[in-house]
Amino acid sequence: MPNILVVDDRQDILESYKLGLDDSKMGWDIFTAENEKEAENMLSDNLIDVVITDLVMLNERSGIGVLEKAKKKDPLIMVLIVTAYEKKLDRYEAFEKGAFDCIARNIPDVKTIDEIIVKTKTALKFRELAKKVAEIERKKTESALKRYFDPVIWEIIKNDPKLLKTRRKTITIVFWDIRGFSKLCDTLKDHPTWISEFLKEYFEESSQAIFSHKGILDKFMGDKAMSLFGVFDNGDDNESAISAVGAAIEMQRRFDKLKRKYVEKWQRDIPQTINIGLGCGIHAGEVLVGNMGTEDRYDFTAIGAHVNFARRIEKRAKDKQILISVTTKQRIQQGCKVNRLYTWDDIKNISGEFDIFEVVQCGENEESLHYR
């Protein structure tokens, strides 16, 4: 049953309202409070659906204070402000702060309690509708965000939504991309469904490789995948960098298997040589990461110069190569073997020299983790 809280500093009015609400036979549970502090305690201890509060009690803004506390507890609590001092009520302020309605007491030929009952019924209907809309939006938001995260990580986020807030964080960013994909699309231009089937499975394999190493799937851009590692880690970020490399190695294996499966199928009907592969770039640095966008469209993502640099590294990777920056190398050198390839000094719009390394092996067991 709905819970109604009535707040008034006059005991006779408080009892009159409670009696009238009980006599309405609506089955509501009625709670009462004689001042703003008591109302705050009632709101804290009970699940209140509608608050009916006097405006002027301890001071001329007591009712507004009750309104603010109710909305802080639950934005969907419906609040009716009742007053005999119409001139002291700033209706614009009340509605701006979320009041459902304002009721003037002592209007000729109108029983205040009758108006309160009618507007309480309406407020309860509006609250139910608002709760349904909020639930639809919650599910929509959950559905939109859920695709980025491994189910285990998603459960952690559901229990602590503050983790989605935008913040600065040092993480490891990974990009991988199919080499020869444009040529493949041209070769298979008469078979678009073959491309879509291949991409669907490629996306699934990418997601599994990322999630199995506790990463976050940021986005797919055509045949390019972007993922983030260490976003929710509180300790040393070396482990997240090693996880990022592990995901890239696993994806190389998954891609080789996927490639063999589809190329064998395609070349039953296509005479041209099909040559595709996977290149990967990894970089660690501080970014702005979190839920970004507008109320209508948002994404969990990372932005900043280090994201752009990771993407630049990926573009230089050849088939089967996992290229990394020196910041990544410093974080994985205890668990992975890398070779320095060259110093990169001609990056467009980025000044300086940057050492680039290739991952050769990661982990103690070369056969289980080496992707060659």
Domain ranges of the chain: 3-145, 147-369
Whether this prediction's pTM lies above 0.85 is answered by: no
DSSP secondary structure string, 196-238? HHHHHHHHHHHHHHHHTTT-EEEEEETTEEEEEESTT--S-TH
Domain 147-369 is in which class? alpha beta
Tens-digit pLDDT profile for the chain (372 aa)? 899 999 999 999 999 999 999 998 889 999 999 999 999 999 999 999 999 999 888 888 889 999 999 999 999 999 999 987 766 777 888 898 899 998 888 765 558 888 999 999 999 999 999 999 888 877 777 776 666 676 766 776 777 777 778 899 999 999 999 999 999 999 999 999 999 999 999 999 999 999 999 899 999 999 999 999 999 887 667 899 999 999 999 999 999 999 999 999 999 999 999 999 999 999 999 999 988 866 666 678 899 999 999 999 999 999 999 999 999 999 998 888 999 999 988 888 888 889 999 999 887 544 344 444
User: Among residues 173, 170, 176, 171, which one has the least CA distance to residue 322?
Assistant: 176
Identify whether the C-beta of residue 309 lies closer than 8 Å to the C-beta of residue 325: yes
Domain 3-145 is in which class? alpha beta
Beta-bridged to residue 83, according to DSSP, are 104
Identify whether the C-beta of residue 171 lies closer than 8 Å to the C-beta of residue 229: yes
User: Among residues 133, 114, 129, 123, which one has the least CA distance to residue 48?
Assistant: 123
